[in-house]
């Protein structure tokens, strides 16, 4: 076997919240089922992060591998979608159970499909759920809902899912634990001339070409899908780290912010990426009209939009739509000064306009939260005018 050249040690950029993706090859046992052999070291890393006040969202593969062992009469030659869905259904609880045995912190299972994240309303619901779990110091364990997502059982889906989740929860870092040391200039298992790539300042076509095909018999992703995930995270201003989750020393050093692996940087800042996204989401017909006090709070204080400052909603927009926000301008005319993603539809806003946040549920019979438009989902016109660059 080729003696792999070591990656140099480097310092991990500061982060407070990260998404950690763990592949099947790190928790699947030979012959099916799950193993704690490598998962234990990753669990110790999670525990250390949690003890230091950091937050982790875990995207864990392994459900199909776990279910394969439980489906006693299953033929290994059967790779149909129905068979894989059955194995995933059996293995989901096993996967979460493995992590719960290794971690002394509360966990919550969250199953998502790409459709959940493409649909704006379900996107908001998923983000609200994950944010609430993190607020209560509960670690979400996220996986693709393989039991219903037939088309999503494709190569590297959880790598890309992890990148989407990183943007969803506004993470600072995407951590991808794999069974290889990091990115090489070629496949180090077949090319003795392969050199380690310690840092990637930008994902270019030449860098993408370095990625090989899938290297594991139990996983569904290869190095290319990990670079694609890094590309998605980078577009949201989130940097990515690739490291060997099988190397206990590498994992231990990572808990001390020392990396032996590949750091994939991004030129986009998180603010630029967010403002770019808000700038380009099409606004629907209609608007939310606010009073002078709310206009001032949004413009000058960095506040979220609450019902108390709203005068009315015009149009028939729905929860999750991008809506213009207007306020008093010169000579009594309304002027558009912001835009944002609404947490309520137009009819609901008109029912809660001018009310205190504690009155939302009594008036509607339910609540999507106290903010009609959260600050994270809002961009001021002057901020949009200042959004420049190559994003």
Residue list for the binding site for ATP: 21, 178-179, 220-226
SS3 300: helix
Straight-line distance from the first to the last Cα atom of the chain, in angstroms, rounded to the nearest whole number: 43
Strand pairing of 17-22 and 173-178? parallel
- The alpha helices in 57-193, defined as continuous H runs, are 63-70, 81-102, 114-118, 120-135, 157-168
**Gap between the Cα atoms of 163 and 175, Å rounded:** 9
**Gap between the Cα atoms of 129 and 114, Å rounded:** 16
**Gap between the Cα atoms of 297 and 287, Å rounded:** 18
Binding residues: 21, 61, 146, 158, 178-179, 220-226
**Gap between the Cα atoms of 339 and 377, Å rounded:** 8
Q: Classify residue 179 by its DSSP letter.
A: S
> Can you count the helices (H) and strands (E) in the chain?
14, 15
Task: Taking each helix axis as running N to C, give the angle between helix 81-102 and helix 39-51, from 0 to 180 degrees, rounded to the nearest 10.
Answer: 50
Binding residues for substrate: 61, 146, 158
> How many CB atoms are closer than 10 A to CB 296?
14
Instruction: Annotate 141-204 with DSSP letters as a single string.
Output: EEEE-TTT-GGG-STTHHHHHHHHHHHHTT-SEEEEEESSSS-BSS-TTT-TT--B--EESS--
Cα 368–Cα 298–Cα 125 angle in degrees, nearest 5:
20
The helix (H) or strand (E) run that includes residue 280 is helix 270-280
């Amino acid at each position: 076997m080729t003696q792999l050249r070591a990656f140099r040690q480097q310092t991990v950029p500061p982060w407070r919240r990260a998404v950690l993706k763990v592949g099947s090859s790190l928790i699947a046992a030979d012959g099916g089922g799950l193993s704690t052999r490598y998962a234990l070291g990753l669990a110790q890393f999670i525990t250390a992060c949690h003890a230091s006040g950091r937050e982790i969202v875990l995207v864990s593969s392994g459900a199909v591998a776990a279910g394969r062992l439980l489906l006693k009469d299953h033929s290994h030659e059967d790779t149909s979608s129905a068979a894989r869905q059955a194995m995933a259904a059996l293995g989901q609880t096993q996967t979460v159970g493995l992590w719960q045995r290794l971690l002394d912190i509360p966990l919550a299972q969250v199953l998502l499909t790409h459709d959940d994240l493409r649909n704006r309303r379900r996107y908001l619901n998923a983000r609200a759920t994950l944010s609430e779990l993190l607020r209560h110091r509960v670690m979400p364990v996220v996986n693709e809902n393989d039991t219903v997502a037939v088309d999503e059982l494709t190569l590297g889906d959880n790598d890309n899912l992890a990148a989407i989740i990183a943007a969803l929860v506004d993470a600072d870092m995407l951590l991808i634990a794999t069974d290889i040391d990091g990115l090489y200039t070629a496949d180090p298992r077949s090319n003795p001339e392969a050199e380690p790539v310690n840092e990637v300042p930008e994902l270019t076509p030449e860098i993408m070409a370095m990625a090989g095909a899938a290297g594991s018999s139990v996983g569904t992703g290869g190095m290319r899908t990990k670079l694609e995930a890094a590309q998605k995270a980078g577009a949201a201003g989130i940097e990515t780290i690739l490291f060997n989750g099988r190397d206990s020393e590498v994992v231990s050093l990572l808990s001390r912010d020392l990396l032996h692996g590949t750091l994939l940087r991004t030129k986009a800042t998180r603010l630029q990426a967010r403002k770019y996204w808000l700038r380009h989401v099409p606004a629907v017909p209609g608007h939310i009209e606010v009073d002078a006090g709310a206009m001032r709070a949004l413009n000058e204080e960095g506040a979220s939009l609450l019902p108390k400052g709203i005068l009315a909603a015009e149009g028939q927009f729905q929860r999750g739509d991008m809506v213009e926000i207007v306020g008093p301008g010169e000579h009594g005319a309304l002027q558009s000064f912001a835009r944002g993603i609404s947490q309520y539809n137009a009819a609901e806003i008109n029912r809660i306009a001018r009310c205190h946040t504690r009155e939302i549920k009594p008036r509607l019979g339910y609540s999507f939260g106290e903010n009609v438009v959260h600050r994270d989902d809002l961009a001021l016109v002057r901020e949009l005018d200042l959004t420049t660059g190559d994003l």
